[in-house]
């Protein structure tokens, strides 16, 4: 049955099945907390925050107001989508002054809450750079510089967010502490391997088990030479976050309502409908994108030799260590490395894309490869190996016409990868 269908169509159908399953509106509307005796404030940040806020406004039994922060282009699709919850667009992945202003406003609104009130915190991927408010002693420009260095260092998302938490005046439980004695209920859409609530958006309402010393270790591990004042903050009390058992967090609870495995399970079901045997490698794969691409290329080679049609699914968040001057993201880099490993294997096709619709520096979600990828590149005088070394996967796949473009999806459950063996 597989060989009678267009492999590219199959891959895109699996991807869109995953996207449909990653619906922030449904993942919020079905998990709203019990209304308080007092007022309800809605706050949040992330790529899914607008749709999450829309769900609260539509389904809440009483009056709500509030403020959420989303990346530029991820706001409400219609001007009147939200009436009472403000949506501010700010910069991602490197923060800007708009995000700082919005984060400061959120913190002020939280501090105005009283006993009997409720703060609903809507958290999704991207919130770390959007809800930016440097701790005293750190300027925004310094935070932006550190963020850029982390993004190109090869650090995992957990490591990056450990540093971000300890340099923030709102993350690492500080937002929930500001709202106390009001109750805080956090709804989380996870984009991080392992789905640890404290890692998503650096945990503004979550207790943080890490320390300033952990943040210093990470900066030194990736040879990020920060100014001495940064070390002074991380070594002092202002750089510490709220820890498990902190009395100010006793009224703060959280629930992860949507995660990578939900998207992968939807793709798995779709594969079965298409008559394709699915294998799920996992929903929390990490590591260098090019290395994982090579490893998955070897796996696809082995399975293709066995002659069994199937699709290999996986999720998680890889990293890219910036070496060149090209444009691209982790999914493009993963696929380019895989294409080189496959060397035109006639039975293997693959798609890798970010469920938020943005893969690194390009205006695309990801890309696809097929048995003709390297041959077509050579015909255009493109060296796949050189472009991989230059971190230029976007240009490579753009020239081939093999980009996958969705525009902002207003959700984010991490990367989606599918390797189809026909």
User: What tens digit of pLDDT does each residue of 304-318 get?
Assistant: 988 889 999 999 999
Domains of the chain by range and CATH?
2-19+261-421 (3.40.1480.10), 31-258 (3.40.50.10180)
**pLDDT reported for residue 361:** 77
Confidence class for position 185, pLDDT limits 50, 70, 90: very high
Lowest-confidence region among 20-34, 71-85, 189-203, 366-380:
71-85
Helical segments of 323-372, H only: 330-342
**pLDDT reported for residue 306:** 87
User: What pTM does this model have?
Assistant: 0.94
Mean pLDDT for 214-218 is 96
The candidate with the shortest Cα–Cα distance to 374, out of 391, 396, 358, is 396
**pLDDT reported for residue 2:** 55
Query: pLDDT tens, 113-129?
Result: 999 999 999 999 999 99
Whether the predicted pLDDT of 416 surpasses 70: yes
**pLDDT reported for residue 78:** 64
Q: Compute the mean pLDDT over every residue in the chain, rounded to the nearest whole number.
A: 95
* Rounded Cα gap, residues 80 and 352, in angstroms: 34
Whole-number Cα distances in Å, 415 to 22, 113, 216, 230 = 12, 37, 28, 32
Confidence class for position 4, pLDDT limits 50, 70, 90: low
Query: pLDDT tens, 61-101?
Result: 999 999 999 999 998 876 568 999 999 999 999 999 999 99
List phi, psi (to 5°) of 157.
-65, -35
**pLDDT reported for residue 237:** 92
**pLDDT reported for residue 132:** 96
**pLDDT reported for residue 113:** 98
Query: pLDDT tens, 126-157?
Result: 999 999 999 998 999 999 999 999 998 999 99
pLDDT: which is higher, 421 or 361: 421
pLDDT above 90 covers a percentage of the chain that reads: 91
> Sign of the CA dihedral 63, 66, 70, 76?
positive
Q: Coil, strand, or helix at residue 149?
A: helix
Whole-number Cα distances in Å, 370 to 8, 238, 375, 385, 395 = 8, 52, 10, 17, 17
> Sign of the CA dihedral 407, 411, 412, 417?
negative
Confidence class for position 3, pLDDT limits 50, 70, 90: low
* Rounded Cα gap, residues 207 and 172, in angstroms: 6
Query: pLDDT tens, 307-358?
Result: 889 999 999 999 999 899 999 999 999 999 999 999 999 999 999 999 999 9
Lowest-confidence region among 31-40, 59-68, 358-367:
358-367
Q: Are strands 310-316 and 252-258 parallel, antiparallel or unpaired?
A: unpaired
What beta strand segments (E) does 95-243 contain?
118-124, 183-189
């Amino acid at each position: 049955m597989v060989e009678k269908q267009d492999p590219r169509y199959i891959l895109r159908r699996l991807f869109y099945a995953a996207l449909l399953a990653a619906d922030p509106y449904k993942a919020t509307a079905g998990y709203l907390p019990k209304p308080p005796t007092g007022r309800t404030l809605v706050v949040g940040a992330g790529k899914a925050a607008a749709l999450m806020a829309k769900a609260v406004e539509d389904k809440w039994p009483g009056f709500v107001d509030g403020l959420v922060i989303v990346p530029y282009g991820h706001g409400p699709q219609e001007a009147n989508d939200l009436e009472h919850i403000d949506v501010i667009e700010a910069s991602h992945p490197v923060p800007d002054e708009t995000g700082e202003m919005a984060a400061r406003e959120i913190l002020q609104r939280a501090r105005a809450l009283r006993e009997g009130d409720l703060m609903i915190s809507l958290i999704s991927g991207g919130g770390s750079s959007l809800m930016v408010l440097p701790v005293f002693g750190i300027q925004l420009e310094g935070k932006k510089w550190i963020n850029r260095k982390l993004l190109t260092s090869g650090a995992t998302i957990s490591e990056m967010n450990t540093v971000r938490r300890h340099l923030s005046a709102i993350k690492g439980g500080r937002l929930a502490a500001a709202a106390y004695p009001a109750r805080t209920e956090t709804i989380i859409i996870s984009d991080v391997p392992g789905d640890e609530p404290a890692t998503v958006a650096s945990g503004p309402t979550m207790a943080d088990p890490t320390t300033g010393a952990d943040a210093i270790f990470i900066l030194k591990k990736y040879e990020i030479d920060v100014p001495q004042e940064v070390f002074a903050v991380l070594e002092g009390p202002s750089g510490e976050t709220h820890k498990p058992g902190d009395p100010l967090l006793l009224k703060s609870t959280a629930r992860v309502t949507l995660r990578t495995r939900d998207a992968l399970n939807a793709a798995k079901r779709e594969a079965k409908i298409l008559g394709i045997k699915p294998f799920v490698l996992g929903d929390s794969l990490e590591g260098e994108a090019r290395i994982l691409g090579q490893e998955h290329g070897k796996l696809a080679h082995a399975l293709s030799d066995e002659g069994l049609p199937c699709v290999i699914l996986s999720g998680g968040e890889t990293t890219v260590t910036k070496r060149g001057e090209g444009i691209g993201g982790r999914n493009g880099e993963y696929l380019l490395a895989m294409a080189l490993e496959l060397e035109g294997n006639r039975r293997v096709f693959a798609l890798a894309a970010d469920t938020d619709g943005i893969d690194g520096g390009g205006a695309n979600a990801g890309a696809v490869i097929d048995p003709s990828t390297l041959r077509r590149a050579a015909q255009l005088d493109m060296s796949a190996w050189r472009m991989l070394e230059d971190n230029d996967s976007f240009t490579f796949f753009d020239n081939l016409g093999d980009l996958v473009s969705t525009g902002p999806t207003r959700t984010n459950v991490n990367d989606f990868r599918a390797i189809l063996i026909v």
